[in-house]
Every structure is written in C-alpha cells, then in structure tokens.
Amino acid sequence: MTDKPLDGRLALVTGASRGIGAATAIALAAKGAHVVLTARTPGGLEDVEATIHAGGGSATIAPLDLAESEAIARLATAIGDRWDALDILVLNAGMLGSLSSVPAIDPKEMAQVLTLNVSAQAALIAAFDPMLKKAKSARVIGVTSSVGRKPRAYWGLYGASKAAFETLLGAYGDEMAEISAIRTAIVDPGATRTKMRARAYPGEDPNSVKEPTVVADRIVALAIEGFEPGHFERVA
C-alpha cells in the first residue's frame, strides 16, 4: 500500500486548532489528504497548518464559529466553489459546558451547548451532504463521549448533547447506507490528554492518559480502511 493512501482526497476537520482535531488533521495530511481546518481560533489553526506544511502536506484554514448563524452555509459555499466532492468529514468540535446537577443547569448555557454540539452538527451534515454524495466513498466520523451512552452524575448537559449527536449521525448513516457510498462512524476517544479533559478533571496528571495522536490514528485508519454502516468504537 502507498504511504499516501488519501492522496487526492479532501477532508474537513472541525475543532482543528488543538487536541484531537489538530492531531487528526495532521495525521490525515500525512496520508495525503488536503485538509480544511476549521475552529474559532486563527492562531491555533495557523500553527496546525504550519505543522502540516512542514511535513510536506497541504491544508487550508477556515477560522469561524460554528455556532454563528450562516457560518456553516458560508463555509460550505466556499469549499464547494473550490472542490467538487468532500471525501472525509470529521465532526470533532464540541463544548463541554459546566458540570452540574440537572436542576442546576443554566438554560442559557444549555442553549449554547446544544447549539454547538447538536444543531451545528446537523447543519454541517446538511450543508455538506451534496459534496459527500459526490465522493467515491465518503466517510463521516463523529467524536463522542461515553456519557452520551451511559449517564453520569453532573454530566447531564454534555451527555445529553452527545446522545443527541450520536442519534443524528446514526440516523444519517442509516439513511445513506442504501442510496449512497456515504458511511458514518462514531468514535469515543476515552480518556485523552486534551484541554477539555483538563477542565473536567483538574486534579488529573495529564501524563496518565493517552495523547490525542492515538485517537487521531484510529480516525485516520477508519477513513482509509472503511467500515460497516453504523460503526462505533471506543479508543482504549
């Protein structure tokens, strides 16, 4: 097999300025994909882009807030004007929100979390559906959390948003399975050394959990090897 199995493929990675998103973007580019990087922080995106270019890869940055009205539509138009098809969509961007009991959930914060973790994800799928259908074998890979499947005290808001996200992505995968070459997968990264993890577990030694590159390697492997409809896996 060539060391560039994704040569000629186009990938879009959300939340690509740091953590799992950044590691995934770098790993996809190393395998030959041209990667569109999106996140709210231009500086972080520029750093990831520089790393990709230094490794001989190619990338385009698109700083934006996915929760902003019309931002996703603008992104889809810009990408669609330059490329015909989207081969890989990695839905990684997400917001933790405050960890609190269910009665203490702030309604305004709940709206923010659900907007980014659910509504924006649905909007991304809808906006890029035409380009995904044009790809020879499109892959849509969503990053989730175990609390979306197994409720945990004080994680109700984030867990509810991930449960909704999994349902949306899974339903889309079922809808596409018989009418297109689009396949969807859900990846639970498990304990991983990210900024979100550090916020949720402030007393934890970051060296006690795996690096984002471990998760990125699994996501890239799925993008290359493919998978059966409805695929789910947890990265140990």
Catalogue the active-site residues.
158
Q: Are 50 and 33 in contact (CB under 8 A)?
A: no
Q: How many CA atoms lie within 13 A of 217 on its CB side?
A: 7
Query: What residues have CB less than 8 Å from 113, skipping those under 6 apart?
Result: 95, 96, 97, 157, 158, 161
